[in-house]
Amino acid sequence: MVDQVYRPRRPKASPLWQCLSGHFDAFLELYEEQYQPRYGFLRPIIPEVVNKFLDCGDLERGFARVRCDDCKHEYLLAFSCKGRWFCPSCHLPAPKRLRQAGQKKVQLFGALVTETILFPVPHRHFTFALPKMLRIYFRHDRDLLKDLCRIAHECLLEYLRTTLNLTEGLPGIVMAIHTFGEYLDFHPHLHALVADGLFVRSGLFYVLPDVSLKPLEELFRARVITFLVDKGLLPPERANMLRGWVHSGFNVHRSRRVQPDEREDLERLAQYIIRNPFAVEKMQVAEPNPSNPDLSACGHAQADGSIIYRSGLNPKIQRNFEVFSPCDFIAAITQHIPDKSFQLVRYYGWYSNKMRGQRNKQAAEEAKAPGQAVQIIDVSDHKPRRIPSPKWRELIKKVWEADPLLCPKCQKEMRIVSLIDDRAVIERILRHLGLWEQGVRVLPARAPPEVADRVIEPCFDDPFPDYDTEPVMMYANG
C-alpha cells in the first residue's frame, strides 16, 4: 500500500531548462552561420518543441486544482507540454533511485507492448547499425529512416523464412528508430523486439533454431548499399569499396533468447528501445573555474556555462564525459527531435496494426452466437467526465512511490476540482498566492500560445504530471 505523499518536481531548477532558457535565442541567432552547414536547415519543429518545453509545468500557463474534501487542503498542478522524445516531464527517466525501472511514457509503452502486443513466444532484442560514412545521408533526409526500417524488416523476414523453410510465415517485430549515440552525435540505428521464429495464420509458432547471424548481417549490408546507390546518394565506386571490406561498419546484433515467462525482462527491453536521446541526470553545468580538471582535460580554459555530459567510457577518447558550450549542447540534443507525425516506433508482421485488427475482428465475429439478438445502446450524446485516467495515478504510485491524490494533511483522498486555463483567472489566483512571476523568465517575452493549442488535460493520457508546483501551495477555502 503506497502511503507516501506525492511532491511535484521543479522543472525550472533542472540544468536543461536553465540551459535552454538562457541560451536558446542565441542558438537561433547563430544557427545559420554556425550550425546549418553541419545539421542542415533549422527544422520548424525544433523551436516549437523547445518553446513548449520551456512552458511545461509553468503555473502561469494553466493548472488543475487538486482538493481534499475532508480538510479543504489544496494544491495546484501545472499542465504538461507532452513533448515527444524531449521533455523530461513527459518522457525522461524518473529520479535516480528509480532510473532503471521508472519512466513515464516509457512505462506505458512497456506495459502496452508486453500486455497487448507480444504473444507468449520467445523473443530477442536486435540492433541494426550503419557505418559512419553512410550516416550523413540519413541526417539530411530523415525520410530515409523509414526505408531503413523497411529494409531491416525485409531482411529479417527473408532470414527467418529461409532458415525455417516457411515461405508464408510471418514475423512479429516491434522496431524503434534511434538517431543518437552515447555522446549525442548523430548515429542512426534500429532497435527491434523480435519474436524468435515465425507465426503462421493457423496460430502456430515455429521457433528459430540456434543459427549464425552472419547471413542476416550480410543481407542487411547488401540491401542498404544497393538502396543508397539506387537513390543516387552513394557513388558506385564507394559502394564497391564497402562491399569488399571485411569490416564494413555494418553490424547486426541480437540478445539472448527471452522466454515468455520472463515478463519483467521483456518489459525492460520494450522500455529500452524507446528511451530518450539524452538524460538530464548526466548533465552538469560547469562553474566558472579555470582549474576544473574535467575542462582542463579537454583544453577548455573557461568553464563558464559549459555543459559537462557524462556517460559510459569512450575508448577512443579515454574518458567518460564530453564538454559542450551551451549552444553546442542545444544543437546536439535538438537534432534528435523527430519531425511532426514521424513515427519512431513501427510494427511488422504478426504485430502489425493490420494483423492485430484482423484478429480482433475475427474474435468479435466468433463471439457472436448465431441468431442471438444484439442489444444496441445509443451513446452518441454521452460526454465522458473530465477525470484522470486510472493509469495516471497508478503509474505515479509505481514510479514515484507516492500517491498524487493522497492528502498530506489528513491522508484522505483528494480530487481534481477544476482546470484553469483562462489567462485572467490564472493571474488572479497566482497573484493571490504569491506565485505570479511574470517577467522572471530569461527568454524575451513572446505571445502566449493559443488556447486551442494548449494542453489543458495533463492527466488524462499523460500519466506523470510531475510539474512545477513547488512550493506546493496549501490553502483552505473556509
Angle of CA points 331, 334, 336, to nearest 5°: 120
More confident residue, 395 or 280: 280
Which pLDDT score, from 0 to 100, does residue 442 have? 40
Given this model, what pLDDT does residue 350 score?
93
State the pLDDT at residue 79. 77
Cis status of the peptide bond prior to 471, with omega within 30 of 0: yes
pLDDT at 383: 45
The per-residue pLDDT for 88 is 64
pLDDT tens figures, 28-76: 999 999 999 999 899 999 999 999 888 877 777 788 888 888 888 888 8
Residue 383: exposure state from Cβ atoms within 10 A (0-12, 13-18, ≥19): exposed
**Is the pLDDT assigned to residue 19 strictly greater than 80?**
yes
Asked whether the predicted pLDDT for residue 291 surpasses 60, the reply is no
Predicted TM-score (pTM) of the model is 0.76
Kindly report, residue by residue over 94-104, the tens digit of the pLDDT.
333 334 333 56
Q: What is the rounded average pLDDT of the residues 10-30?
A: 89
Which amino acid belongs to residue 103?
Answer: Q
Which of 385 and 301 is assigned the larger pLDDT? 385
Cell of 69: 474534501
Indicate if the pLDDT at residue 191 is higher than 50.
yes
Q: What is the pLDDT of residue 281?
A: 86
Least confident range of 104-113, 159-168, 423-432, 462-471? 462-471
More confidently predicted of 360 and 89 = 360
Q: Is the predicted pLDDT of residue 265 greater than 60, yes or no?
A: yes
> What are 232-263's pLDDT values in tens digits?
999 999 999 888 888 888 999 999 999 999 99
Structure-model confidence comparison of residues 379 and 273, the more confident one: 273
Residue 307: pLDDT over 60: yes
**Confidence (pLDDT) at 407:** 84
| Residue % of the chain over a pLDDT of 70 | 74
The residues with which 177 forms a beta bridge, in sequence order, are: 190
Query: Comparing 201-210, 269-278, 337-346, 449-458, which segment has the lowest mean pLDDT?
Result: 449-458
Question: What pLDDT, on a 0 to 100 scale, did the predictor assign at position 438?
Answer: 62
- Residues 399-453 have pLDDT tens digits of 555 677 788 888 888 888 888 878 888 888 888 877 787 644 444 334 334 433 3
Q: What is the pLDDT of residue 377?
A: 47
Domains, the chain: 11-94+387-453 (no CATH), 120-278+336-349 (3.40.1310), 281-328 (no CATH)
Residue 363: pLDDT band by 50, 70, 90 thresholds?
A: confident
Q: What is the pLDDT of residue 84?
A: 64
Among 190-194, 306-310, 382-386, whose mean pLDDT is lowest?
A: 382-386
Considering 164-168, 390-394, 436-440, 452-456, the range whose residues carry the highest mean pLDDT is: 164-168
Question: In the predicted model, is pLDDT for residue 13 greater than 70?
Answer: yes
- Rounded CA gap, 476 and 478, in Å? 6
Phi, psi of 11, deg, nearest 5: -60, -30
pLDDT at 16 over 50: yes
pLDDT higher than threshold 80 for residue 372? no
CB 67 within 8 A of CB 415: yes
